Structure 1
Amino acid sequence: MSNVTIKSSMYLLVGISAVAWFLLAHLGGLDLSKVKDFFGLIPKVVSFDLLIIAIFVKWGWKLKAFRGWLVPFPNLNGSWVGFIYSDWKNPETGEKPPRIPVMLTIKQSFFHTSYMMRTSEMESSSYSEGFLIDPDRQIKKLAYAYTSKPRLSLNERSIPHDGTAVFHIIENPKQKLVGRYWTERLTKGEIVLEYHSKELLEELPEDLGEHPVTEDGNRR
């Protein structure tokens, strides 16, 4: 979390605590000029702060009102669909494969994000994730390391492997993730995704092939 959002969080928490202190004192008919009344409210104020923090961490961080000044990263929860453009070449023919329909599901909370990518032949899950957000440099990226497990029937030509993916987060004019990946098999490629739904789907949508995404990320 950046220094700006840390400061904003501290200022907001102090402000909430002050409001809670005066509100509880008013409701309880207490005099804050008295040491006993002032310090006697500490447990209640702390409990109120913890409740507010819990609500924020569970739901509040998703609100656009907090984006930027308090929450540095976007809410990416849901299913994203698109295509993989691999540089792998068939050793027998020397040809690259056609683009591969793919779906990325993102499960995100305030403290953690997990990524699951699926094609018709493999499933990969993240084990290390992070955001790179720097508004001053116009940088909005996510990156994660993953383990890919192809279907058992494909083990002869595709074995389990690890890799890394880095995506540019595009929010305007429409939500897209445009990125690259590398694997320990020395293959790499590009991935272009568009936001599909807030649901975490477990298989590729049937209409993905009917509404293809071009290499620049636009449906045609």
Structure 2
Amino acid sequence: MLIKISAWSTLIAYIVLVTLKKPNGGVGFISLIPEAVGIPPIPILIFDKWLWKWIPFIKMPKLKKEYKGLLKYNFGGEDLNKNIQVFIEQTFTNIKIKLKTNEVISNSIVAEIIEENGDFILYYNYITNPYSKYSDLNPIQIGTCRLDVSNPKKINGIYWTNRKTKGDIFLE
């Protein structure tokens, strides 16, 4: 998507420059290319960071920066709950997730929101970084999370890890 926006922005910038500067000959036209290429990154960065959130035909959910919620999981045959905080940094092209509990902080490695059967699903892989006093009982894990973000006010999903743990996530 950004490649298309970048290409069209460069073409439009080039046409505007040709119209305004009225170059003479082939060298004049060619000399405008570097100038045209240098203009689009600014509007593209503005679009990627902020503008996309205000365009009504872009259906991607606009997630809050912070959620609080509950992690329900099974450990040693016992069903347990843990309070969590989730922090999200979202642009049009990138999303980063940080989850905090009293024992660990996990950070996304890769993440993407996709449309799946009419719902918007956030998939991300993550690595946990346990606090030292919990690292023996709860060592570093790599996991995957699947969250339904169709309603950004109330997010639910599941996770599973390389240590064969799994659970449900409820965020508001």
Pairing 1:138–2:88 present: no
Which has the larger share of strand? 2
Conserved 8 A contact 1:88-1:188? no
CA RMSD of aligned residues (A): 3.1
Conserved 8 A contact 1:150-1:160? yes
Cα deviations across residues 98-135 of structure 1 (Å, max 9, x unaligned)?
x321111112334432221111222222223233225x
Counterparts of 1:95-114 in structure 2, within 5 Å, are: 95-97=78-80, 99-114=81-96
Instruction: Specify which of 99, 106, 122 is matched with residue 104 of structure 2.
Output: 122
Measured at CA, do residues 39 and 65 of structure 1 come closer, stay the same or move farther in structure 2, by a change above 3 Å? farther
Match of 2:156 in 1: 178
TM-superposed CA distance for 1:31, in Å, is 7.4
Instruction: Specify which of 11, 23, 38 is matched with residue 17 of structure 1.
Output: 11
TM-superposed CA distance for 1:21, in Å, is 4.5
Conserved 8 A contact 2:104-2:129? yes
Cα deviations across residues 32-57 of structure 1 (Å, max 9, x unaligned)?
9x766655543333232333323323
Counterparts of 1:15-164 in structure 2, within 5 Å, are: 17-18=11-12, 20-28=13-21, 30=22, 38-65=29-56, 67-68=58-59, 73-76=60-63, 78-89=65-76, 95-97=78-80, 99-134=81-116, 137-164=117-144
TM-superposed CA distance for 1:166, in Å, is 0.9
Measured at CA, do residues 189 and 76 of structure 1 come closer, stay the same or move farther in structure 2, by a change above 3 Å? same
Gaps spanning 5+ residues in structure 2: where? none
Measured at CA, do residues 44 and 100 of structure 1 come closer, stay the same or move farther in structure 2, by a change above 3 Å? same
Conserved 8 A contact 2:119-2:150? no
User: Separation in 2 of the partners of 1:35 and 1:65?
Assistant: 42
Q: Which has the larger radius of gyration?
A: 1
* Percent identical: 26
- Secondary structure in structure 1 of the residue aligned to 2:137: coil
Aligned pair count reads 172
User: Separation in 2 of the partners of 1:142 and 1:162?
Assistant: 17
When normalised by structure 2's length, the TM-score is 0.76
When normalised by structure 1's length, the TM-score is 0.62
Cα deviations across residues 194-218 of structure 1 (Å, max 9, x unaligned)?
2xxxxxxxxxxxxxxxxxxxxxxxx
Runs of 4+ in 1 over 6 A off after TM superposition: none
User: Separation in 1 of the partners of 2:51 and 2:123?
Assistant: 24
User: Separation in 1 of the partners of 2:35 and 2:88?
Assistant: 37
Conserved 8 A contact 2:154-2:171? yes
